[in-house]
Structure 1
Amino acid sequence: MRWVLLAAIGALILLGLLNAFGQRPQTFALDTPAASLELSVPSHLRGGLLYEARFTITAHHELKNALLAFSPGWNESMQQNTIEPSPLGQASRDGDLLLTLGHVPAGHVYRLFMQFQVNATNVGRRRADVTLYDGATKLGAIHRTVTVFP
């Protein structure tokens, strides 16, 4: 019985090292004629985990008013600790969190960092999409699913 328990604990440790329970970031990309958006964020999380999401916007053409819209899955049972640099504005639009980033000249890069903590009671799968806008014009979206383990 002792060996079975020891083997089970060893298997859990091995699965954690192989990223079976999340934390290692994945990269998602969107490329449009006006701009590209790259997102680096884990898709598998655990309760209590602190993690970072990095958004890199590269303007191929001038973005007069760059906006990022986050589906509710980004904040559902998550604590948002930091947003750097601070957005020019924050709002809600049709249930999505909307961050106003402002002007991004052609050829320039805008990088946004967000840090989160997963609530301990947060378990399940949900959509966590992000959409890039220039003012009212939708440039494109990155669709992803996040899985939260206990």
Structure 2
Amino acid sequence: MDTPFALDRQRHLDRGHHSAIYRRLGLGLLALICVLGLANLFGQRSTLTRVDGSAASLTVNSPEHLRGGLVFTSEVTVIAHRKLADAQVHLSSDWFRGMTFNGVAPQPDNMSSSGDTVTLDYGPLDAGQSMPFWISWQANPTTLGVRSEKVNVSDGSEQLLSMQRSLLVFP
């Protein structure tokens, strides 16, 4: 059989079986990555972390694995076990590093930063009162790696609770 102009039978038609194996392995690897993503291996599912103390409880419901570019929400809830005169939540800088902070609802009475900590001041809480708030984020597309997110709850200058979570951001 004659080949068209500029085609070589050995190079273009009668190739060895090795290239077919590599193509199939590559396609299989891509399919495996897609299946693992559908199984939520690469993030987005929220996990609940809770810390209890004598004065208050803290619950954080937020993903521990993310992909770059993902928009997500963290739910933080403080429950007072006694009257708190000035409930404050302190977030470490790792909550904000490589993330776009879209907003918090409900808004705190005061939001400030000192050093590497952002403080959300929600004012007084009665015993048994729950104070949930939601923070909207987006993982910057160029962000990747592991970071340690710390959350502290205080009543004014008195620290009540401390929590540490880790966050893994995939490319």
Query: Is the shorter-chain TM-score for this pair beyond 0.5, marking a shared fold?
Result: yes
Task: Point out where structure 1 has 5 or more consecutive residues left out of the alignment.
Answer: none
- Mapped contact 2:145–2:168 kept (Cα < 8 A): yes
- Please state if 1:145 is matched with 2:166: yes
- Mapped contact 2:75–2:134 kept (Cα < 8 A): yes
Q: Where does residue 8 of structure 1 map in the other structure?
A: 29
Deviation at 1:140, TM superposition (A): 1.2
* Structure label with greater radius of gyration: 2
- Mapped contact 2:72–2:137 kept (Cα < 8 A): yes
Q: Where does residue 82 of structure 2 map in the other structure?
A: 61
Q: What SS class does the counterpart of residue 148 from structure 1 fall into?
A: strand
Deviation at 1:14, TM superposition (A): 1.5
- Please state if 1:111 is matched with 2:132: yes
- Tell me, in whole angstroms, the C-alpha distance in 2 between the residues paired with 1:105 and 1:22: 36
Higher helix share: 2
- Mapped contact 2:56–2:161 kept (Cα < 8 A): no
Of 45, 50, 62, the residue aligned with 2:66 is: 45
Deviation at 1:4, TM superposition (A): 2.1
- Please state if 1:135 is matched with 2:164: no
Moved over 4 A (4+): none
Q: What SS class does the counterpart of residue 144 from structure 1 fall into?
A: strand
Residue identity matched to 1:20: L
| Percent identity between the two aligned chains | 34
Which TM-score applies when normalising by structure 2? 0.84
Of 86, 98, 103, the residue aligned with 1:82 is: 103
Q: What SS class does the counterpart of residue 31 from structure 2 fall into?
A: helix
Deviation at 1:13, TM superposition (A): 1.4
Q: What SS class does the counterpart of residue 8 from structure 1 fall into?
A: helix
- Tell me, in whole angstroms, the C-alpha distance in 2 between the residues paired with 1:15 and 1:101: 41
Of 23, 28, 48, the residue aligned with 2:49 is: 28
- Tell me, in whole angstroms, the C-alpha distance in 2 between the residues paired with 1:71 and 1:129: 5
Corresponding pairs, count = 150
Q: Compute the RMSD of aligned alpha carbons.
A: 1.1
Residue identity matched to 1:120: P
